[in-house]
Structure 1
Amino acid sequence: MEMGTNTWVLKPIFGNDEHEKLKTINLNSFKNECIMCFDEKTDIMMYPCRHLSIGFECAQRLRNSPKCRECPVCRATIERFVRINI
């Protein structure tokens, strides 16, 4: 994707396998609640694992935590958070 002078390589949100065929996601069956607090809507994707499973407030808590910067799904080290509007 290109926007102005910036270029990004788009990857699927779920999964990490480059050889896996892209699958469509049924948004009607998508659980749109944070797995940490079960209250917020899910709108934060963690990179590099690309799990879309927490809300903005919980991402802020993870970001400000000096001890725990791990994905709550797979425990991979979080490099950055990306906000996704669904």
Structure 2
Amino acid sequence: MLVREGANVNVADKDGDTPLHEALRHHTLSQLRQLQDVQDVGRLLMGLGAQGQDKKSSSFIACFLAAHGADLELKNKKGQTPLDLCPDPNLCKTLTNCHKNKESHDIETVTTSATVDECLVCSDSKRDMLFSPCGHVACCNACAPRVKKCLICRENVVSRVK
């Protein structure tokens, strides 16, 4: 409601974090999976405003903010943009798409190809392993034990969560 009334979606806190920084910092792997299943961003955004929706994941909120003008390049005091905090390249693409379409009244459909969520190692299974500490989702359960460095950011993998 505040956004529809013209609230500034880029207001920063004492650490320089915007609502988009916070939304991306607090999402979970299950929320990323939900977002990957959504093909129509317009429908996703309409659902955010629906009465009776009891759980709004931070990934969906991030898309809403991006579609309503949140700056993807705004850095916090640590020099991080919201996309720097985003652990999944698919979500980054979706956010960029939402942001590009913010000016249009009809948000275009985001098409997801079969390669968007495939394992970066075997290309046979879906990505379902969250690497720690970086938080990227890059490969499937079968391939994860072989990965020593994240395939996206090259940071050492300390632990893996399905």
Normalising by structure 2, we get a TM-score of: 0.33
Alignment partners' CA distance in 1, 2:118 and 2:154: 19
State the SS of the aligned residue for 1:81: strand
Aligned to 1:58: 143
Equivalent runs, 1:5-24 vs 2, <5 Å = 19=17, 20-22=21-23
Structure 1 or 2, whichever has the larger Rg, is 2
| AA matched with 1:56 | N
Gaps of 5+ in 2: 1-15, 25-30, 40-89, 91-115
CA distance in 2, matches of 1:32, 1:73: 13
Is structure 2 residue 121 aligned with structure 1 residue 36? yes
Counterpart in the other structure of 1:9: none
Secondary structure class of the residue paired with 2:131: strand
Contact 2:133 2:158 in 1 (8 A): yes
Aligned length: 60
1:78 is aligned with what amino acid?
V
Cα deviations by residue, 1:1-47 (Å, 9 ceiling, x for unpaired): xxxxxxxxxxxxxxxxx931415853235532111221111110000
Q: Which structure shows the bigger proportion of residues in helix conformation?
A: 2
What secondary structure is seen at the aligned counterpart in 2 of 1:22? helix
Unaligned runs of 5+ in 1: 1-17, 63-68
Runs of 4+ in structure 1 off by over 6 angstroms are none
Task: Kindly provide the amino acid, as one letter, of the partner of residue 73 in structure 1.
Answer: I
Identity %, equivalent residues: 27
Is residue 76 of structure 1 aligned with residue 160 of structure 2?
no
Bigger proportion of residues as strand = 1
Measure, in 1, the Cα distance between the counterparts of 2:145 and 2:156.
Answer: 15
Give the Å deviation of 1:61.
Answer: 2.1
Instruction: Give secondary structure in 2 for the equivalent of 1:56.
Output: coil
